[in-house]
Structure 1
Amino acid sequence: MNKIALVIFALFLALTGECSGQQFGADYAARVGRADSLFQAKQYRESGELFNRAFAGNGGVGYLHHRYTAVSAWAMVHEADSAFYHLFRIIERVQYDELDKVLADSTLHNLRADPRWEKAIGLIKGNKDLKEAKYDRRLIAVLDSVFASDQKYRLTVYDTINKYGMDSPEVHDINTRIIKADSINIGIVTNILDTHGWPGPEVIATHGNTLFLVLQHSDIPTQLKYLPVMRDAVKRGAAQNSSLALLEDRVALGQGRCQIYGSQIGLDEKTNRYYVLPVSDPIQVDQRRKEAGLEPLKEYAAHWKIVWKPETYRQDLKQLLGEEALEKYDCFQKQNGKKNRLR
């Protein structure tokens, strides 16, 4: 039995919009990295000053999340002019609309007595209302229900296995409920995809992840049918590349190929031990994961108490599962009497 890795991926934040073609160089990266570290160390003034230098040295532009941290840094040292400069910049240039985040952010507390605060909040709310006016509320409500159904029993699987064992009636009952829910949800999601294509965030907000999750839990023919749809959605910015990577891995394994990104996790029922399912070229997997927007495999695998050792991975997997069980995967198959060393 394989445990499907469910992770929530953050959307990669866009440029502040001053110049969408801007090339961000090593100096910018080094400065904002240091500025972030100073902020975490509560050296707020030094952080704000370094963010300012990073933006100035980069043609006046920066990434949205860096600009927002600069707002927080200056607010924490009561430098309202600098804080509002950065805040109004993202409000006006990228239509910043995260109203709930701003209202709940304790680092901005020192700005609230300033008359500019109400103006900023009004503009953020206006941006939020403008964006949400395009939402398909009916579709969002449907996907909300689908997500709740998809996750309801999966969230209990890990603890139930640890408590009662893989072959227990309790785990069998959960699996039965999951299969039933998946059957219903797959029908709903494929109907949405057939009718609307893959709707973007301007239509369904962040609920594109629900479409992906349901496809992850569908059978291989369904995944193969809609994989090109998701690939196109990623190109359009309607779906996340990190999510696509997981679906690519799922399809690869289902076709007897080794996964590319190491996202799929297996469970050895004899030892109750989790392991990374067959992955191509384990030495280079972190580079592929980085390009897809995924964390290093060592960090990802640790969620299942797996110690990731790329140098010994293939041999360790053979010892765990046996060579015969691995022969069905292309990167473990023999070619001309030798192991395939290209994967």
Structure 2
Amino acid sequence: MKSLIFFLIVCLSSFCKLAVAQPVAPGQGNKADSLMNEGNIPEAIAEYKRLYFLNPGDKRIVYNYACALSVDNSVIKKFDSCFKYLNIAVELDTSVAALTDPDLIPAREDKEWAVFEKRLISMLNTKYNSPYKDIEYARALWRLGANDQAYFNEIGIAFRKFGMRSSVASALWRLKFMIQEKSQKELEQLVAAKGWPKIGDVGSEAAMAAYLVAMHTNDGSQKKYLPMIRQKCEEKELPWQRYANIYDRCLFNENKPQKYGTHTRFNEQTRSEELYPLENETKVDEWRKELGLEPLAEYLARFNIKFQPKQD
């Protein structure tokens, strides 16, 4: 159960997410987005359709409309409409988001996905002057990234409607762990064959997907990636915060106190987040400073957690 609670804190928070539809800035949400977030997909589709006809040039509405059509399981030939609006969306905003979006996992199962993906990669290469030197590696990592982020929204819905300890939430977590275990094995094979991905070869989104899959390993096997990730931080391909996160995660998986203070946990008695135990409270800020990280008290303030460092 410790792993489940940890995933609630880490994986449902915003810092680890690649993409789930188009992000909504404060004050910019709409009824369709709310319906989508609550799992009411048929009504979300109807509302996105209405909004689209009011403003067909709104890239976020078009994209999220396509995502809703992908997720829906009640529409015959839904993927025809999904790809229709996906193609419109990438014309309005040519980005890699669709290739890492978990809402589009159902669409990936359709034969049209390969055509769409090839077209989008061509558009991205034209727009950004061929950023993907190893397209096959990038394609594999995009898929792993989408799978890594899958079903977090559904888990959130289960938590809100049925509770953290409900059988529905537990079943969804078991599904998540099965998917992550498969992804971790695939990542291990990819890294063994090609090495840790370089941004210059696969792009930043694919490189981050590899990091997230490694980060979400539960059996401690990500420890073997630490030297590679440290090297990428030294090469300025990753921020040092990422190294601190995965270093502490390795300690967490070994039931040891963390070094850098990157992890929190949910206290069921106080119903609030708290800092996961530290290896050394007096040295934590010194260790964080060595990586160029802010003091722990400032970091934890983002989570409304107060921390007073001990003095020697």
TM-score by length of 1: 0.50
One-letter amino acid of the structure 2 residue matched with residue 3 of structure 1: F
Distance 1:135 1:216, change over 3 A: same
Distance 1:165 1:127, change over 3 A: closer
Deviation at 1:263, TM superposition (A): 1.2
- For 2:278 and 2:159, locate their aligned partners in 1 and report how far apart those are by CA, in whole Å: 25
The RMSD of aligned alpha carbons is: 3.2
Q: Is the 8 A contact 1:166 1:269 kept in 2?
A: no
Question: Which 5+ residue runs of structure 1 have no aligned equivalent?
Answer: 10-98, 102-124, 313-340
Q: Which structure ranks higher in relative contact order (CA pairs < 8 Å, sequence separation ≥ 6)?
A: 2
Alignment of 1:44-55 (within 5 A): none
Distance 1:198 1:187, change over 3 A: same
User: 1:199: which partner in 2?
Assistant: 197
User: 2:168: which partner in 1?
Assistant: 170
Distance 1:170 1:294, change over 3 A: farther
- For 2:234 and 2:305, locate their aligned partners in 1 and report how far apart those are by CA, in whole Å: 34
One-letter amino acid of the structure 2 residue matched with residue 307 of structure 1: I
TM-score by length of 2: 0.54
Question: Residue 275 of structure 1 aligns to a residue in which SS?
Answer: strand
- Say yes or no: does 1:292 pair with 2:291: yes
Question: Residue 301 of structure 1 aligns to a residue in which SS?
Answer: helix
Deviation at 1:174, TM superposition (A): 1.9
User: 1:180: which partner in 2?
Assistant: 178
Q: Is the 8 A contact 2:220 2:250 kept in 1?
A: no
Alignment of 1:1-343 (within 5 A): 1=2, 2-4=5-7, 5-6=10-11, 8=15, 128-129=128-129, 132=131, 134-158=132-156, 160-206=158-204, 207-302=206-301, 304=303, 306-311=304-309
One-letter amino acid of the structure 2 residue matched with residue 240 of structure 1: P
- For 1:155 and 1:302, locate their aligned partners in 2 and report how far apart those are by CA, in whole Å: 25
- For 2:257 and 2:297, locate their aligned partners in 1 and report how far apart those are by CA, in whole Å: 18
Q: Is the 8 A contact 2:220 2:254 kept in 1?
A: no
Distance 1:291 1:178, change over 3 A: same
- For 1:311 and 1:296, locate their aligned partners in 2 and report how far apart those are by CA, in whole Å: 9
Deviation at 1:146, TM superposition (A): 1.1
**Stretches of 4+ aligned residues off by more than 6 angstroms:** none
- For 1:265 and 1:222, locate their aligned partners in 2 and report how far apart those are by CA, in whole Å: 21
Report the identity percentage: 22
Question: Residue 265 of structure 2 aligns to a residue in which SS?
Answer: strand
Q: Is the 8 A contact 1:246 1:264 kept in 2?
A: yes
Count of residues paired in the alignment: 199
Deviation at 1:220, TM superposition (A): 3.8
Q: Is the 8 A contact 1:282 1:311 kept in 2?
A: yes
Question: Residue 274 of structure 1 aligns to a residue in which SS?
Answer: strand
Q: Is the 8 A contact 1:262 1:277 kept in 2?
A: yes
Deviation at 1:218, TM superposition (A): 1.1
Deviation at 1:126, TM superposition (A): 8.6
- For 2:291 and 2:162, locate their aligned partners in 1 and report how far apart those are by CA, in whole Å: 36
- For 1:284 and 1:100, locate their aligned partners in 2 and report how far apart those are by CA, in whole Å: 46
CA offset digits 1:224-282 (Å, max 9, x no partner): 22222322333344443221111100112233432111111212234432211111333
